Structure 1
């Protein structure tokens, strides 16, 4: 988890180090995988399989490839199953700004898990767009560094966010560390000036 680095001393891992972890010892990890308690990562065919979702106990779905020309399930597709839905219209291109969806998706997943829900995050193959959103959730809401998040998910599923998404995740990692260092420094200052209570 992120420690109390001084501002400016943390540097997100280079792309080469991330790729080393993402590409080593790849194996068949299947179509759907539990990558965090009550959080699944899958491809589109699993997301369309209502019987499978029911078996997994899924209560919330994040579609990272939402849209008419992509995977057009939408909230109506799951309506009769009572599944909450978040559609993210993301393209799997290195120049696409998936970072614009990091916080909204993290809030949706966090809220679902807080209510003891079970979340399925997917895109077409469950490798790039959906993986980037899951990594961002783990960083924003669970306090993992980017490398910790990658290693955690990679233990359960082969993922490979495109290079543009990895750059955006590195930016998020750096920003979260900077914010954490500032909060930590501010807390130390408050503690130094707090009256002593007996």
Structure 2
């Protein structure tokens, strides 16, 4: 672990006793925010999660100074924006053609998507908008993976951080994939 990051981890991780919670325990953590979802919410400094309507509203994206868009529902049968949709803006685009089905393996996209977010945030004014169709499952899964991979959070801490600002709900399959990532990163 890089020096200095240990203090950011929760006490259970430092003591080496952290275990990935069950899916039902994780579900209890997710719906903590009062009220409904907005079109887009800042869920972590300079990281926003939202839906396809916000993704297609270039004026709103520019008003929020979004520099990068990660579409977790890319493709012609999903939210078909793509780099050409944003060509008249300064927005950098990255698309993941994922389907919101428990059988879909999103885990191969965890690191590439996390690296895209990290690169965006490495810019002094970088802001990332991560979306899928509704801003609940695919997009939140990729943001949670980013927080685990690059911010050294456990899955529990990542869910708490995101759900403080937006109700999120990765489908059962995605939640299992996040649990496996959590075990790999934090359980020794």
TM-score, reference length from structure 2 = 0.90
Unaligned runs of 5+ in 2: 1-8
Name the counterpart of 2:158. 149
Name the counterpart of 1:184. none
Higher helix content, 1 or 2: 1
Displacement of 1:23 after TM fit?
3.4
| Aligned alpha-carbon RMSD (Å) | 1.3
Name the SS for the 1:69 alignment partner: coil
Distance in 1 between the 2:101 and 2:37 partners? Answer: 24
Preserved CA contact (<8 Å) 1:29 1:156: no
Preserved CA contact (<8 Å) 1:61 1:120: yes
Preserved CA contact (<8 Å) 2:33 2:165: no
Deviation by residue 1:37-95 (Cα, 9 ceiling, x = unmatched): 11100000001000001000000000000001111100011111021111000000001
Deviation by residue 1:115-165 (Cα, 9 ceiling, x = unmatched): 121100000000000000000000000011000000110000011000100
Preserved CA contact (<8 Å) 1:10 1:174: no
Distance in 1 between the 2:139 and 2:25 partners? Answer: 21
Name the counterpart of 1:4. 14
Name the counterpart of 1:169. 178
Alignment of 1:59-138 (within 5 A): 59-116=67-124, 117-138=126-147
Go from structure 1 to structure 2 and tell me whether the alpha carbon gap of 1:38 and 1:24 turns closer, same or farther (over 3 Å shift).
Answer: closer
The answer to whether 1:158 aligns with 2:156 is: no
Preserved CA contact (<8 Å) 2:33 2:166: no
Name the SS for the 2:43 alignment partner: strand
Distance in 2 between the 1:44 and 1:29 partners? Answer: 13
TM-score, reference length from structure 1 = 0.85
Name the SS for the 2:133 alignment partner: coil
Larger Rg, first or second structure (1 or 2): 1
Deviates more, 1:13-22 or 1:103-112: 13-22
Name the counterpart of 1:186. none
